[in-house]
Amino acid sequence: MNIAELISCLDDENKLNETLELIEDIIIDTPDSLTSKLRQLIAFPEKIENTNRFASLLSDLYSEEYIEPLIQTIARANLEEAAWLSDYMYALGNCLDELDEAYIPEESFVHLLGDWLLNTNGGEISWKSAIILENLEHPQCITYYEQGALSKGLFHQSRIACLSGLVNEFGMSKLEVYQELLKDDDPEVHGAAQSAIKWLERNE
């Protein structure tokens, strides 16, 4: 069934409620069997023709079960060959953002993201590494948060994500970093540091 056929079923009184139930099952009460199948497919990005759409699907049909296979697949990616990597990192960032608490990863994954953050010329992979790192909880994150926040060669949103991770995990103990960022030439970074200090002063 394609989308046109699905819509036509909504005009057919005999099929209306059955079609609505199917849509509701997919979007509202996603069956465990569908979640499980999508979870399995994550491990095979080479088989998926449009990983951008697949990443959006995983984000829209969010399940915590997607996080570990996304991490495992991203961790084995070759930067030079994995055309799907950015899409998978987008999906992982969205899934992590849905969690109530920061996710605790393996240390090797933190170092991989830290390397991509600092050593991929400040591009999209660097930015998405920062977004993922922001949502992780691990003692090794602090090095990358600090370096990322202070690195003027990175995209300002990458730097702000690192600042956010630093604030969330280490609070006022890193006040000297926030104060250094107050002197930054980038108004977005300067403003984020100013807001972070004000927020910490209210909540610490």
How far is residue 54's CA from residue 82's CA, in Å, rounded to a whole number?
A: 15
Say yes or no to pLDDT of 204 above 80. Answer: no
Strands, DSSP E only, in the chain? none
Q: Which amino acid is at 70?
A: L
Spatial CB neighbours of 167, under 8 Å, sequence gap ≥ 6: 174, 178, 196, 199, 200
Q: How many CA atoms lie within 13 A of 191 on its CB side?
A: 5
Per residue in 14-54, pLDDT (tens digit) is: 888 888 888 788 887 788 899 999 999 999 999 999 999 99
pLDDT for 173 beyond 80: yes
Residue 140 confidence (pLDDT): 95
Q: How do residues 64-103 score in pLDDT, each as one tens digit?
A: 999 999 999 999 999 989 999 999 999 999 999 999 999 9
Other Cβ atoms less than 10 A from the Cβ of 197: the count is 17
pTM (2 d.p.): 0.89
For range 172-182, the mean pLDDT: 92
